[in-house]
Amino acid sequence: MADTSYDLIVLGSGPGGYVAAIRATQLGLKTAIVERENLGGICLNWGCIPTKALLRSAEIYHYMQHAKDYGLAAASISADLEAVVKRSRGVAKQLNQGVTHLMKKNKITVHMGEGKLTAPGKLEVKGAKGSETLTAKHIIVATGARARDLPFAPADGKRIWTYRHAMTPPEMPKKLLVIGSGAIGIEFASFYKDMGAEVTVVEMLDRIVPVEDADVSNFLEKALKKQGMTILTGAGVEELKATATGVSAKIKTKDGKVEAGDFSHAIVAIGIVPNTEDIGLDTLGVKTTKGHIDTDPYCRTNVKSLWAIGDVTAPPWLAHKASHEGVIAAEAIAQELGNKDVHPHPMDVRNIPGCTYCHPQIASVGLTEAKAKEAGYEVKVGNFPFIGNGKAIALGEVEGFVKTVFDAKTGELLGAHMVGAEVTEMIQGYTVGKTAELVEEDFMHTVYPHPTISETMHEAVLSAYGRALHI
| Residues marked as catalytic | 450
Residue 248 or residue 302: which is nearer to other proteins going by CB?
302
Query: In the chain, what's the furthest Cα-to-Cα distance?
Result: 71
- Contact map string, positions 38 to 67, toward other proteins, x by CB under 8 A: ------------------------------
Angle ∠(272,275,276) on CA atoms, nearest 5: 125
Q: Is the peptide bond before 316 cis (omega within 30 degrees of 0)?
A: yes
- Pick from 450, 380, 454, 370: nearest CA to 410: 380
Q: Applying CB under 8 A, which of residues 305, 424, 446, 452 lies at the interface with other proteins?
A: 305
Q: Does 346 bind other proteins (CB under 8 A)?
A: yes
Q: Which of 135, 412, 446, 465 binds other proteins (CB under 8 A)?
A: 412
| Identity at 464, one-letter amino acid code | A
* Residue 340 lies near other proteins (rule: CB under 8 A): yes
Phi and psi angles of residue 91, each rounded to the nearest 5 degrees, phi first = -65, -45
Site for other proteins in 425-444 (CB under 8 A): 436-439, 441-442
| Nearer to other proteins (CB atom), residue 220 or residue 303 | 303
- 3-state SS class at 362: strand
Task: Name the minimum Å distance from CB 336 to other proteins.
Answer: 5
| Shortest Å, Cβ 218 to other proteins | 30
**294 in Cβ contact with 302 (< 8 Å):** yes
- Give yes or no for residue 410 binding other proteins (CB under 8 A): yes
For residue 451, is the peptide bond before it cis, meaning its omega torsion is within 30 degrees of 0?
yes
Question: CB–CB of 359/189 below 8 Å?
Answer: no
Asked whether 401 and 387 are in contact (CB, 8 A), the reply is no
Neighbours of 48 (CB within 10 A): 19
Asked if residues 133 and 75 have their Cβ atoms less than 8 Å apart, the reply is: no
- Minimum CB–partner distance for residue 186 and other proteins (Å): 31
Of residues 65 and 302, the one with the C-beta less far from other proteins? 302
Q: Which of 113, 411, 429, 451 binds other proteins (CB under 8 A)?
A: 411
Among 18-26, 64-72, 379-387, 407-415, the segment contacting other proteins (CB under 8 A): 407-415
Asked if 206 touches other proteins (CB under 8 A), the answer is no
> 357: which residues sit within 8 A by CB, 6+ positions away?
51, 52, 55, 187, 190, 424
Q: Nearer Cβ to other proteins, position 252 or 380?
A: 380
274-303 residues in contact with other proteins (CB under 8 A) are: 287, 294-298, 300-303
| Shortest CB 444 distance to other proteins, Å | 12
Name the minimum Å distance from CB 404 to other proteins.
15
Distance CA 4, CA 11 (A): 14
Our CB check for other proteins shows the closer of 181 and 301 to be 301
Contact between 343 and other proteins (CB under 8 A)?
yes
Residue number, 301 or 463, with CB nearest to other proteins:
301
Nearest to 123 by CA among 113, 111, 112, 135: 135
Q: Which of residues 103 and 312 has its CB atom nearest to other proteins in the complex?
A: 312
Taking CB under 8 A as the binding criterion, the range among 159-167, 328-336, 381-389, 423-431 that sits at the site for other proteins is 328-336
Least separation, in Å, of the C-beta of 101 and other proteins? 31
Count of positions on this chain that bind other proteins (CB under 8 A): 31
Distance CA(173)–CA(110), nearest Å, equals 39
**Residue 160 phi, psi (nearest 5):** -105, 120
CA distance 194 to 59: 7
Segment (H or E) for 312 = none
**95 alpha carbon, distance to own chain's centre:** 17
- Ranges within 210-269 binding other proteins (CB under 8 A): none
Q: Which residues bind other proteins (CB under 8 A)?
A: 287, 294-298, 300-306, 332, 335-336, 340, 343-346, 409-412, 436-439, 441-442
